[in-house]
């Protein structure tokens, strides 16, 4: 299998997240990942996976629409519309950084507005 670009890896991650596939997400996380959003900040794969699983457990469905995406050498910035349980809409900017092994080393999520 050919290696994926960081943009392709980001889209792959978002698809795994939307499917609530914790094993798929885990395979993409580096052991030293930093996960931060408007509610939490954790360091390390185990803690990041615990927080991710909590998010999965609290919802029935997740739909993620990529509104725009920007790429630098090791970071993707993705503007997202996330729909929770087909009714709650969140507008989020994810800043996702990768290491040289194509693992996610940080995800910083910022909550915005849809207007």
Are 105 and 111 spatial neighbours (Cβ–Cβ below 8 Å)?
Answer: no
- pLDDT recorded at residue 95: 98
Q: Counting beta carbons within 10 angstroms of the beta carbon of residue 29, is it exposed (0 to 12), middle (13 to 18) or buried (19 or more)? A: buried
- pLDDT recorded at residue 114: 81
Tokens 């929770």 correspond to 84
Tokens 């900017």 correspond to 93
Domains in the chain: ranges and CATH = 6-112 (3.10.450.50)
- pLDDT recorded at residue 2: 55
| Confidence (pTM) | 0.94
Alpha carbon 25 to its chain centroid, in Å, reads 8
What separation in angstroms does the CA of 42 have from each of 4, 58, 106?
27, 19, 10
Q: Mean pLDDT, 10 residues at a time, over the chain (115 residues)?
A: 83 98 98 97 98 97 98 96 96 97 97 88
């Amino acid at each position: 299998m050919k290696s994926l670009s960081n943009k392709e890896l980001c889209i792959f991650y978002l698809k795994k997240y939307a499917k609530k596939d914790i094993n798929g997400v885990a395979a993409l996380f580096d052991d030293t990942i930093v996960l931060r959003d408007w509610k939490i900040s954790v360091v390390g794969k185990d803690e990041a996976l615990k927080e991710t699983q909590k998010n999965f457990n609290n919802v029935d469905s997740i739909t993620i629409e990529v509104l725009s995406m920007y790429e630098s050498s090791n970071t993707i910035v993705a503007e997202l519309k996330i729909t929770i349980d087909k009714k709650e809409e969140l507008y989020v900017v994810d800043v996702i950084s990768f290491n040289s092994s194509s693992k996610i080393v940080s995800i910083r999520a910022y909550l915005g507005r849809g207007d």
